Amino acid sequence: MKRVLFDENLPRLLRQKLPEFDIRTVQDEGWGSFRNGKLLRQAEGTFDVLLTADRRMEYQQKLASFQMGVVVIDTHSLQLGILERALNDIRAALNRIERGQIIHVAVPQ
């Protein structure tokens, strides 16, 4: 089972829509105060992928150097009902992500 870390900007209820993954949140891990680089370093080795809506991360970090993938949700809203529109695409991205890779998932408007 793929281990997924939810960034603090995602609604916790989204994890219920993805039961096939072992999901923890940044808050569950006590990493809420960590900046992106420190968060990725802390999470690699424990998690396979970070799921986030932070579109700046790939420009701030050398993601290929980390031992985990990053799936970025491109959306205008973080409301659960909006994110559910892209649930199948999010699921597919989480399944195919590789270490050091970044995949963007666009939420239809």
Lowest mean pLDDT among 3-17, 31-45, 93-107: 31-45
Percentage of residues in the chain with pLDDT exceeding 90?
Answer: 69
- Whole-prediction pTM value? 0.91
For residue 92, give both structure tokens.
């597919």
Query: Does the pLDDT at position 36 exceed 80?
Result: no
What DSSP string runs through 43-108?
HBTTBSEEEE--TTHHHHS-GGGSSSEEEEEE-S---HHHHGGGHHHHHHHHHH--TT-EEEEEPP
pLDDT of 60 reads 63
pLDDT value for 10: 94
- Both tokens of 13, joined, read 């209820």
pLDDT digits (tens, 9 = 90+) for 54-86: 877 666 667 777 889 999 999 999 999 999 999
Largest CA distance in the chain: 35
- Name the amino acid, one letter, at 33: S
